[in-house]
Copies of this chain bind each other. A is one copy, B any other.
């Protein structure tokens, strides 16, 4: 059902680049693939990998993530919360997807649409900058939190109506 990145693909990519897919690396890759919608930190990945391979070391996870970032299997992203998070790059997608970060609940939604084509052209023409990649995150309020706020506003109004005559 998925056109996405598979373990076999990644194994080939590593071999082509002169690396081997050790059991530790395989366990790390599997955790990433099993959670591809998430944006896990190194520590979170480490905890999940330990369930499969309890003997793995944190430094190995960091080294593996660095390698996977180098090979563009994952993208390292930062949402201004003081640590790096890792995002599996979709196999088909030429461009990196975008993010919607909710300022209320902290949720992160993914946007796969290719929205920056025109913008990149402007940047290349006007600034003579050769674009290779991008990072785009919108900060705002997710639909759930907008609803919650509306409901709260209704409750507040009712409460005001009963206390003040």
Residues in chain A within 8 A of chain B (CB atoms): 76-78, 80, 82, 84, 100, 102-103, 109, 111, 113, 115-116, 118-120, 122-123, 126-143, 146
Q: Are B115 and A129 in contact (CB under 8 A)?
A: no
Residue of B78, B132, B135 near A136 (CB, 8 A) is: B135
Docked pose: A122 CA to B135 CA in angstroms? 17
Docked pose: A87 CA to B80 CA in angstroms? 14
Known: A122-B113, A134-B138, A135-B139. A100 touches B129 (CB 8 A): yes
Residues of B within 8 A of A136 (CB): 134-136
Docked pose: A131 CA to B142 CA in angstroms? 9
Residue of B76, B77, B141 near A132 (CB, 8 A) is: B141
Q: Are B138 and A123 in contact (CB under 8 A)?
A: yes
What is the minimal beta-carbon distance from A107 to any residue of chain B, in angstroms?
10
Q: Are A129 and B123 in contact (CB under 8 A)?
A: no
